[in-house]
């Protein structure tokens, strides 16, 4: 299908609004009506999911690289930049991150952190658009959804790595009585960074700025073949071997790690939540990358 330059005409917009999920194909047609029509298209869905794996080009539009979803709300740009609270923050739309205005087939965005951007808008089908930054020749594919049809849980579990990085540290708050003694019993804090993890044996309740990180290494989150609701986690310590866990999310601030080798259950609670754009550290640190969790062929052990 050939890419179609926006702006959509009124007839196409009517079709889109009546049936958001039936594909409309227009071949070899250049549509350019007015900036008003471009704004209608951008507002025709409650939110647009940024399909980061469909990004093309070697450049970057920082606020799109950071966002899971964006919304165009009567001149205000809203985004879900965090996994924590997704589906609840801003009634599901996220937080205000800037302003926008439309030209013919173009949206001008004044982002609170990243400044002014002029992006060309193209239609790929009736609920998918492409935003192109001509300066870097980089494009992002956005898929439109109405809020009551959007699968927030899917986004959460598909991006669980980012969820784990959205707290400065995870503090152990529970260890089950069942289970054999093992070295992980002594580790009371975990920290997940984009490329490695760290752990600490400091006492529970230690202030975050006083933590001493005793161990570090590589970590990996896996999908599990045939079990969409289960994730697994490996911690590969430098010079110390590795640990394997089944990973469960209890709520937006608590995870459970089940250690099959010992039969022990641990709970960790997040401390130092980073709301991106509200924290200088977060706004600089977090960017999504093209990725898919590798798949592990294992059976769930936690009953």
Q: For residue range 84-143, list pLDDT tens digits in order.
A: 999 899 999 999 999 999 988 899 999 999 999 999 999 888 889 999 999 999 999 999
Q: Which two tokens stand for residue 263?
A: 């039969």
Q: How confident is the model over 44-98, as pLDDT tens digits?
A: 999 999 998 889 998 999 999 999 999 999 999 999 999 999 989 999 999 999 9
Using CA atoms, how far residue 65 sits from 83, 124, 133, 158, in Å, is 14, 20, 12, 16
Q: What angle do CA 26, 28, 33 make, to 5 degrees?
A: 75
Q: Is 160 left (phi over 0), alpha (psi -120 to 50) or beta?
A: alpha
Residue 141, classed as helix, strand or coil, is strand
Domains detected in the chain: 4-158 (2.40.128), 160-296 (2.40.128)
Q: Is the dihedral of CA 264, 295, 158, 111 positive or negative?
A: positive
Q: Is 71 left (phi over 0), alpha (psi -120 to 50) or beta?
A: beta
**Stated pTM of the model:** 0.77
Tell me the average pLDDT across 217-242.
Answer: 91
For tokens 């550290």, name the residue.
281
CA-nearest of 145, 205, 198 to 173 is 205
Using CA atoms, how far residue 253 sits from 148, 159, 208, 223, in Å, is 24, 15, 16, 21
CB-CB contact of 162 with 83 (8 Å): yes
Q: Which two tokens stand for residue 186?
A: 């002594």
> Among the ranges 151-155, 251-255, 278-282, which has the highest mean pLDDT value?
251-255
Residues near 299 by beta carbon (within 8 Å), at least 6 away in sequence? none
Instruction: Please tell me the total number of residues recorded for the chain in this structure.
Output: 303
**Cα dihedral 7, 9, 13, 15 in deg (nearest 10):** -130
CA-nearest of 220, 254, 223, 258 to 237 is 220
Q: What pLDDT is recorded for position 240?
A: 81
DSSP string, 64-120: HHH-SEEEEETTEEEEE--STTTTTGGGGT-EEEEEEEEETTEEEEEETTTEEEEEE
């Amino acid at each position: 299908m050939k890419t179609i330059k926006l702006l959509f005409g009124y007839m196409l917009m009517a079709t889109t609004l009546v049936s958001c999920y039936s594909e409309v194909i227009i071949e070899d047609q250049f549509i350019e009506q007015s900036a008003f029509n471009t704004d209608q298209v951008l507002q025709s869905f409650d939110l647009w999911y940024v399909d980061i794996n469909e990004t093309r080009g070697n450049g970057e539009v920082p606020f799109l690289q950071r966002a899971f979803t964006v919304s165009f709300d009567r001149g205000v740009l809203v985004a879900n930049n965090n996994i924590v609270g997704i589906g609840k923050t801003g009634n599901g739309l996220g937080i205000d991150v800037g302003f926008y205005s439309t030209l013919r087939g173009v949206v001008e965005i004044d982002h609170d952190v990243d400044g002014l951007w002029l992006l060309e808008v193209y239609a790929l089908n009736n609920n998918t658009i492409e935003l192109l930054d001509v300066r870097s020749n980089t494009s992002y594919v956005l898929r439109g959804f109405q809020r009551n049809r959007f699968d927030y849980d899917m986004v959460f579990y598909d991006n669980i790595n980012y969820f784990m990085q959205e707290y400065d540290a995870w503090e152990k708050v529970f260890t089950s009585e069942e289970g054999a003694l093992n070295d992980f019993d002594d580790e009371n804090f975990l920290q997940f960074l984009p490329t490695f993890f760290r752990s600490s044996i400091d006492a529970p309740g230690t202030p975050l700025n006083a933590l001493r990180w005793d161990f570090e290494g590589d970590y990996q989150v896996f999908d599990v073949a045939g079990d969409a609701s289960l994730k697994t986690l490996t911690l590969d310590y430098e010079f110390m071997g590795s640990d394997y866990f089944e990973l469960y999310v209890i709520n937006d601030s608590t995870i459970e790690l089940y250690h099959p080798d010992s039969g022990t259950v641990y709970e960790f609670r997040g401390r130092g939540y980073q709301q991106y754009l509200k924290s200088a550290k977060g706004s600089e640190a977090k960017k999504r990358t093209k990725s898919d969790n590798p798949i592990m062929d294992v059976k769930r052990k936690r009953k």
